[in-house]
Amino acid sequence: MRNLLTLLAIPSLLFNLAASAQEKGGAGADKPAAGAVAISSPVAAEQFEQGQKMMQAQNLPAAAACFRKVIGLSPDFAPAYLNLGTTLAGEGKSEEAIAIFSKAKSLKGVNPIVYLNLGTLLHDTGKVHEAIDNYKRLLEVDPNGPYAHACADGLQQMQEELAAKAARPYQNGATDYFGDATSGGASRWAQSEMPLRIFIDAKTDVPRFRAGCVDILKAAIQDWVDASQGKIKIEYVSDADKAQIICRWSDAVTEMASPTEPGNIYLGKGKSGIVKCDITLRTTDPAGHTPFNDAQTKRIAQHEVGHALGLVYHSTNPLDVMGEGIPGRGTATTLSARDKNTILKLYDLSDGEMARFLRK
């Protein structure tokens, strides 16, 4: 469902106050809805315009600060809440964004797009039933609006998703996302493959690569080893030809699954499970071609290593390292309890259970 949030990207929520009165009718996201409370002062308007500029420049922390100032000066001005919520979502602060969008729903004349953005975030944090309620609400209040079609499509996708989840061989536990991670089947390394031989290409001339990346990657790998409670064993080798897992860095978009991906893996599988894996990590943010910092580098490494160890499919909660979206945009560098419980559950499966659900 994150594709819907992408569809409603930051520019779609930018309200140009000077031009809004001249826009054509309708409750589109480029103008406040009818009856909305006007901004209270020139100072608030100036902060709002500055926030828009910061959003366009992708300086999300600065944009959020501007919109918070607007809310302090004009607490009933709904567009500031919409832009703040979108900005927070862009920073990966999903729960805070949900709270802001929820507040915005109570404001007079709020743009109906709030229901779609709130619903999308609720879905991405695993609250599918609440997401459905918000999508339905948009269709009730703005059935012919510019986002009604996307909303109806998203609603159908979520209903189909619930039906598919109900038919899975495994469901998410109270403290794991095992059902999500194995939604297309289960894969893992067999115990006969242990210890996993890992080669890390540290001799590279890739732009923005630094020697510290190797230690960061090793720390990310160790996080998963520790989470498995001894079921995953590793050793590092100096010969790539003897390795089962090969790790390297690249700055080439063509080596990623899509231009927005900060990492990529290739899994080779045999009858017993995974037998080979290539991990490629980017050194720069594909959105702005700026170098990843240490925290982002570790987050990306943790995410791709999680895939390499068998968590092939994503968690629907962005607070998990294996959550959907672009991992380099997150800031957490610690596996969540759900991440740890899920990898442990995968490697706790008996060989008989694995034989039933092994991905082909």
Per-domain residue ranges for the chain? 2-166, 178-357
Residue reference for tokens 């740890």: 340
Going across the sheet that includes 245-250, the strands are 234-236, 196-200, 245-250, 273-282, 263-270
What is the reported pLDDT for 150?
A: 83
Say yes or no to pLDDT of 240 above 50.
yes
Q: Which CATH architecture has domain 178-357?
A: 3-Layer(aba) Sandwich (3.40)
Residue 225, token pair as written in the block: 């080893």
Say yes or no: do domains 2-166 and 178-357 share a fold: no
Report d(CA 113, CA 14) in Å as an integer: 12
Would you call 322 helix, strand, or coil by DSSP?
coil
pTM of the full predicted structure? 0.58
Say yes or no to pLDDT of 280 above 90.
yes
* Mean pLDDT, residues 301-308 taken together: 95
* Mean pLDDT, residues 251-276 taken together: 80
What is the reported pLDDT for 133?
A: 94
Report d(CA 209, CA 157) in Å as an integer: 40
CA distances from 322 to 68, 143, 309 (A): 30, 35, 12
Report d(CA 303, CA 219) in Å as an integer: 12
Residue 321 identity: V
Question: Across all residues in the chain, what is the average pLDDT?
Answer: 81
162 falls in which pLDDT band (50, 70, 90)?
Answer: confident
- Among 3.40.50.720, 1.25.40.10, 1.10.10.10, 3.90.1150.10, name the CATH number for the domain at 2-166: 1.25.40.10
Say yes or no to pLDDT of 258 above 70.
no
Report d(CA 175, CA 8) in Å as an integer: 31
34 falls in which pLDDT band (50, 70, 90)?
Answer: low
DSSP 314: -
What is the reported pLDDT for 122?
A: 87
Instruction: Report helix angle 78-90 to 94-104, nearest 10.
Output: 170
The more confidently predicted of residues 339 and 165 is 339
Say yes or no to pLDDT of 193 above 90.
yes
pLDDT digits (tens, 9 = 90+) for 205-223: 888 888 899 999 999 999 9
Identify the bridge partners of residue 80 per DSSP, sorted by sequence position: none
The more confidently predicted of residues 306 and 57 is 306
SS (H, E, C) 218-262: HHHHHHHHHHCCCCCCEEECCCHHHCCEEEEEECCHHHCCCCCCC
Residue reference for tokens 């959105």: 287
70 falls in which pLDDT band (50, 70, 90)?
Answer: very high
14 falls in which pLDDT band (50, 70, 90)?
Answer: very low
